Amino acid sequence: MKKYIFSILLLMAFYHRGNAQGCVAIRTVGGLNTMEHAMHNMMMHDSSMKKIEAPKWDLNISGRYFKSYKHFNGTDEVTQRVADGTDVRNFSRTLDVSLQRRINEQWIVGINLPLAYNERTSLYEHVSNVKGSPRYSTFSQGIGDIRITAYKWLIAPKDGNKGNLLGGVGIKLPTGNYKTTDVFHNTKTTTRVGPVDQSIQLGDGGWGVSLELNGFRSINNTWSLYSNAYYLINPRGNNGVSTARGGVATAAAIKYTSDVMSVPDQYLLRAGTNWTKNALTISLGARYEAIPAKDLIGDNTGFRRPGNVLAIEPGANYNYKKFNFYLYAPVAIRRERPQSYPDILKTKDTGVFSRGDAAFADYSISIGMGYRF
């Protein structure tokens, strides 16, 4: 297939806040294996492409939506929150614009720009968390953290090869506003202004390094396998933004470092199978995404909601001329909110086990379009 495989519809660009499945602040990941689909379709039709000059550009636009509201402590759902109406609800709407440029047969560079509109409604952030208290909303909207990535074929697509492997190293820029503020209600008639919750902040305030591996393996003309691995390293410990929502941090929050927001790592793992018939590909796989309690580099101080989501991810992909259309809807089958670093400090200090909760979604929807030119 020589140099004709280039297509990267890769939205592995996590970043605006709160975009995995809940209060756990996992950034937009796109998470689409359209790159593998495009490569697979090209492999199947390679003999007809020998004299066609490969496009150099790949534009991808993807939207993602979810609503989180189910609270978990560990792996146990706190069903009483929904029953009492005291649950926190996050509505996340993200548009990822991704552009890649094929430099040569080995190298590709790309940039990802996330745009976000988030809404968070709750009781406890405002008047009171008592059942029946008024529910108010806070919002954030704007540009998230941009990521620039260089990709290299570690196992290049060639005639006769059934598989390939693409590696990537990127830089995440702190372009998203990580100090977004909105109005909170002290009472029904009095308000204050303060930073919105970490889960809907547009950025985290830190520079980061992303590492990726994207693999593809053809079994026959109909079936193939895909895999993706992504890890974002955030060396900065915390960004200094208050978690008191315009109020005054408690002595306990200061003691256990949860008075300011952390800048956490995050990662994504995906693997599954594709069924292809002509221009249509149907996929089914597993998806695991997480915010760890402790980072690979740097300290772990500050408030974060560590968490992980295991999901079954069905998807569909359709190629039409230079266009590629896709739809993915991962459905959560396991959600966990483990102890955070402040939780661990408090547990050691008091001798009493401490662990907060976090809200997760049942599913998310990603829909998008790619164009090669």
- What is the arithmetic mean of pLDDT over 287-302? 96
Q: Mind listing the pLDDT tens digit for each residue in 46-86? A: 333 343 456 899 999 999 999 999 999 999 999 999 999 99
Decide if pLDDT at 147 tops 60. yes
29 pLDDT above the threshold of 80: no
Specify whether the CB–CB gap between 370 and 324 falls below 8 A. Answer: yes
Do β-strands 238-242 and 208-218 pair in parallel, antiparallel, or remain unpaired? unpaired
- Does residue 341 contact residue 295 with C-beta atoms inside 8 Å? no
| CATH code assigned at 136 | 2.40.160.40
pLDDT of residue 34 exceeding 50, the answer is no
Q: What is the pLDDT of residues 169-208, one digit of tens each?
A: 999 999 999 999 999 999 999 999 999 999 999 999 999 9
**Helix H or strand E encompassing 323:** strand 323-328
- For the chain, what is the total number of helices (H) and then of strands (E)? 4, 19
| Helix, strand, or coil (residue 353) | coil
What pLDDT is recorded for position 14? 31
Q: Determine the Cα–Cα distance for residues 257 and 277; give it in Å rounded to an integer.
A: 54
pLDDT of residue 340 exceeding 50: yes
- pLDDT for residue 15 is more than 90: no
pLDDT in the model for residue 132 = 92
**19, two tokens:** 């975009």
What SS3 class is residue 269? strand
Give the integer Cα–Cα distance in Å for 232 and 295. Answer: 10
Residue 100 CA to residue 5 CA, distance in Å, equals 13
Percent of the chain surpassing pLDDT 70: 86
pLDDT confidence band for 1 (50 / 70 / 90)? very low
Whether the CB-CB separation of 70 and 82 falls below 8 Å is answered with yes
Q: Are 113 and 66 in contact (CB under 8 A)?
A: no
Q: How confident is the model at residue 28 (pLDDT cuts 50, 70, 90)?
A: low
- Tokens representing 304 are 């974060």
Q: What is the pLDDT of residue 157?
A: 84
Q: Which residues of 92-129 are buried (b: 16+ CB within 10 A; e: fewer)?
A: bebbbebebebeebeebbbbbbbbbbbbbbbbebbbee
Instruction: Tell me the percentage of the chain whose pLDDT exceeds 90.
Output: 83
* Whether the predicted pLDDT of 241 surpasses 90: yes
Token couple for 144: 């998230």
Check pLDDT > 80 for residue 22: no
Instruction: Give the per-residue pLDDT at 53.
Output: 56
Whole-number pLDDT of residue 36: 39
* Mean pLDDT of the region 319-338: 97
Of 107-111, 123-127, 160-164, minimum mean pLDDT range: 160-164
Q: How far apart are CA 114 and CA 137, in angstroms?
A: 22
Torsion sign (Cα): 117, 120, 121, 126:
negative
- Residue 62 pairs in a beta bridge with 96, 368
Q: What is the pLDDT of residue 24?
A: 55
Span 251-282, pLDDT tens digits: 999 999 999 999 999 999 999 999 999 999 99
Residues 238-245, mean pLDDT to the nearest whole number: 97
Q: What pLDDT digit, counting tens, does each position of 347-372 carry?
A: 999 999 999 999 999 999 999 999 99
pLDDT at 179: 98
Is the model's pLDDT at 7 over the cut of 60?
A: no
Average pLDDT in the chain = 88
Asked whether 26 and 291 are in contact (CB, 8 A), the reply is yes
Domain count, the chain: 1
Name the 3-class secondary structure at 10.
coil
Dihedral sign of CA atoms 9, 15, 16, 17 in order = positive
Grade residue 12 by pLDDT with cuts at 50, 70 and 90. Answer: very low
Q: Which residue has the higher pLDDT, 263 or 40?
A: 263
* Residue-range definition of the domain harbouring residue 349: 2-372
Are 326 and 316 within 8 A, CB to CB? yes
